[in-house]
Structure 1
Amino acid sequence: MLCAVEAHHAGLLGPRGHLVPRAGLRPLAVTGRELRRLGLPQGLELAEARPDMPRPPRGRTWALGDAFSGKVQFRWLTASPGRVVIVDDGLATIRLLELITGRPGTPLLRARGGAGRLRTVLGVAAGLRLRAAARSGRLSIFTALPVAPDLAKAVRARGIELVTHDFAWLRSQPLRRPRPQERTVVLGTSLVRNGLIHREHYFTWLAGLGADGPVAYFPHRREDPGDLARVAEQHGITVYDGGIPAELTLRGLAAEQRVLSLPSTAVTSLRILLSARGVAVRTVDVPDEWWTAEAAPSLRSHLSMFAHHDTGVAGS
């Protein structure tokens, strides 16, 4: 949602647009309220949430995040948008770039989980349709993530417009949300709930941080409520209300504070937003013994692009 706002601000979506959140998702609702509070860019309106996916008007620009959604891919095959702009949706953005520059018949499917025959066929058809849009100059990718030079070259060779951004709109907004007072801020992770790292290793690490001093913990939107309750019981750790993206809640941190996170796309975003404020944003390396059998080598490799070897694991 935030990256769609940035794409509008950058002029990729035309002079007027409607931002349509999916109904029933608290993170989208609270993020929408925060964006309204800041004041959306001129020409962009936040529409009422909908349980279904709106059909893009024929010939109009369509911006979306989750290119691996079956519903989104079905819309590509049944609608005729004039232009498609894909905005950041976490690590999936890089996987999309790799797949779309691969063999023409490569299906657009998520990195995790098996896909049945019909779902694979839909992924193949969606990939062909998206590549056709690229060849006709109707596909743009809008991202703040680091894209390797070779991959960026391959993307542009396919006819795709690759646009990078640095949260220009958000950086121009006044700071109105109070910052946490704890020196150490930890970003929550979905790796535990997704079964990719062992729960006990993660909690042992958190306990070590809490023993060293006060910690502000900002949950990931997909963390298990039971896990969050356990985090809140850890000595020295205060769990803050989640839902709003870290880019919105933590952009006012002070130079004496630091952010720690397991590999996450939020690390890249916060580095962009906080570098001028002198705030250290560090990725924690995940030891081999933390990973479960569900964490495929390809996934670990993807996550490693966010790892900078400037911090260790405390209390592991």
Structure 2
Amino acid sequence: MLCAVEAHHAGLLGPRTRVVPRAGLRPLAVTLRELRRLGLPDGLELAEPEPDMPRPGRDPVWVMGDAFSGKVQLAWLTAFPRRVVVVDDGLATIRLLELLTGRPGAPLLRARATGRPLRSALRTALGAAASLRLRAAARSGGLSVFTAMPVPAELAAAVRRTGAELVGHDFAWLRAQPLRGPRPAERTVVLGTSLVRNGLIDREHYLSWLAGLGSAGPIAYFPHRREDPDDLARVRRQPGITVYEGGGPAEMTLRGLAAEQRVISLPSTAVTSLRVLLAARGVPVETVDVPDEWWTARAAPSLRSHLSMFAHHDTGVTG
């Protein structure tokens, strides 16, 4: 949602944009509330949340975030918007670019997609059809990708050779908004992760690591939106750790940190975004590489490589 606002502010979507949040998701409700508090760019409407995803219809421009969603792919294949704009969905955006420029016909599926044999076959077929549509949109000049992720120069050049437009951004709209609310008092801020909930890293290794950080000094812990409530209850019981219930994107919640503070995180999209937002404030954003023994059998080597690819500063160029 935040990147859709940034894309509108950048002039990529036309004079009027309507953003429809999905109903029933607290993080989206919190983000919606905070965006309305800040005041929106001219021509942008944040609609009330809806339970079902609206179809593109006859709208000339359709904006999507999660291009790997089966619902998004089905809607796209049964509608005919003149142009599609893909806004950031984190590291998944980089995977999308890799698939766009890779082997023709490779289905648009998440790096760790699994499922029952019949369901996998159906999803693979849908993903393959979406891949063909994506390439066709690029060839006709009807595909734009709007991202704050650092895209390696070689990959960026390959994307543009497909005919797609690749536009980088640095959260210009958000950076221009006034800061609101107090920042955490702790010097060290730790970002939560979804890797435990997704079964990709070992729970006990992760929680022990957090306990060690808390024993070394006070830390502010900002949970990932998909963290398990039982895990968070254990984190709250650890001495030295204060769990904050931000709810919204880290880019909005933590953009007011001071130079004497620092952010620590396992590999995540928020690391890249916060480095962009906090560089001018002198706040270091540090990535902790996941030790080999933390990974579970569900984490394929390709996924590990993908998650680590953009954890550090020297990852290439954007846009």
For residue 208 of structure 2, the aligned residue among 204, 208, 223 is 204
Runs of 4+ that moved beyond 3 A: none
- The residue aligned with 1:99 is 99
Question: Can you give the 5+ residue segments of structure 1 that lack an aligned partner in the other structure?
Answer: 311-316
Matched, 1:296 2:296: no
SS of residue paired to 1:178:
coil
- The residue aligned with 2:271 is 267
Residue 118 of structure 1, CA deviation: 1.6
For residue 231 of structure 1, the aligned residue among 235, 244, 250 is 235
Question: For the residues of structure 1 that align with 2:205 and 2:45, how far apart are their CA atoms?
Answer: 44
Residue 48 of structure 1, CA deviation: 1.1
- The residue aligned with 1:313 is none
Question: For the residues of structure 2 that align with 1:8 and 1:265, how far apart are their CA atoms?
Answer: 21
- The residue aligned with 2:7 is 7
Task: State the number of aligned residues.
Answer: 310
Residue 103 of structure 1, CA deviation: 2.0
Matched, 1:41 2:45: no
The one-letter code sitting in structure 2 at the alignment partner of 1:108 is L
Residue 305 of structure 1, CA deviation: 1.8
Residues 226/200 of structure 1: CA separation in 2 closer, same or farther (3 Å cut): same
56-65 or 271-280, which moves further after superposition? 56-65
For residue 175 of structure 2, the aligned residue among 171, 178, 183 is 171
- The residue aligned with 1:32 is 32
Contact 2:271 2:311 in 1 (8 A): no
Question: For the residues of structure 1 that align with 2:216 and 2:20, how far apart are their CA atoms?
Answer: 43
Matched, 1:160 2:164: yes
Residues 59/38 of structure 1: CA separation in 2 closer, same or farther (3 Å cut): closer
For residue 254 of structure 1, the aligned residue among 247, 253, 258 is 258
SS of residue paired to 1:63:
strand
Question: For the residues of structure 1 that align with 2:282 and 2:55, how far apart are their CA atoms?
Answer: 44
For residue 142 of structure 1, the aligned residue among 143, 146, 149 is 146
**Structure 1 residues 277-316: aligned runs within 5 Å:** 277-308=281-312
Residue 40 of structure 1, CA deviation: 1.1
Question: For the residues of structure 2 that align with 1:13 and 1:177, how far apart are their CA atoms?
Answer: 31
Contact 1:187 1:220 in 2 (8 A): yes
Contact 1:221 1:242 in 2 (8 A): no
Question: For the residues of structure 1 that align with 2:253 and 2:114, how far apart are their CA atoms?
Answer: 35
The one-letter code sitting in structure 2 at the alignment partner of 1:78 is T
CA deviation map 1:97-148 (0-9, x unaligned): 0111112211111111325212111111111111111111010000000111
CA deviation map 1:30-73 (0-9, x unaligned): 10000000011110010011111111132510111000111110
Which has the higher relative contact order, 1 or 2, with Cα contacts under 8 A spaced 6 or more apart? 2
The one-letter code sitting in structure 2 at the alignment partner of 1:31 is T
Question: For the residues of structure 2 that align with 1:123 and 1:203, how far apart are their CA atoms?
Answer: 36
Residue 309 of structure 1, CA deviation: 9.2
CA deviation map 1:194-237 (0-9, x unaligned): 11111111111111111111110000001001111111111000
Question: For the residues of structure 2 that align with 1:226 and 1:148, how far apart are their CA atoms?
Answer: 38
Question: For the residues of structure 1 that align with 2:28 and 2:201, how far apart are their CA atoms?
Answer: 26
Question: For the residues of structure 2 that align with 1:113 and 1:102, how far apart are their CA atoms?
Answer: 18
Contact 1:6 1:169 in 2 (8 A): yes
Over the matched positions of the two proteins, sequence identity in percent amounts to 80
Contact 2:160 2:166 in 1 (8 A): yes
- The residue aligned with 2:82 is 82
CA RMSD of aligned residues (A): 1.3
Question: For the residues of structure 2 that align with 1:181 and 1:208, how far apart are their CA atoms?
Answer: 19
Question: For the residues of structure 2 that align with 1:309 and 1:274, how far apart are their CA atoms?
Answer: 14
Residue 10 of structure 1, CA deviation: 0.4
Question: For the residues of structure 1 that align with 2:167 and 2:313, how far apart are their CA atoms?
Answer: 28
- The residue aligned with 1:314 is none
Query: What is the TM-score of this pair, normalised by structure 1?
Result: 0.96
CA deviation map 1:161-204 (0-9, x unaligned): 00000000000000012100100000000011111111111111
The one-letter code sitting in structure 1 at the alignment partner of 2:137 is A
Contact 1:220 1:242 in 2 (8 A): no
Matched, 1:218 2:233: no
Question: For the residues of structure 1 that align with 2:192 and 2:59, how far apart are their CA atoms?
Answer: 40
SS of residue paired to 1:11:
coil
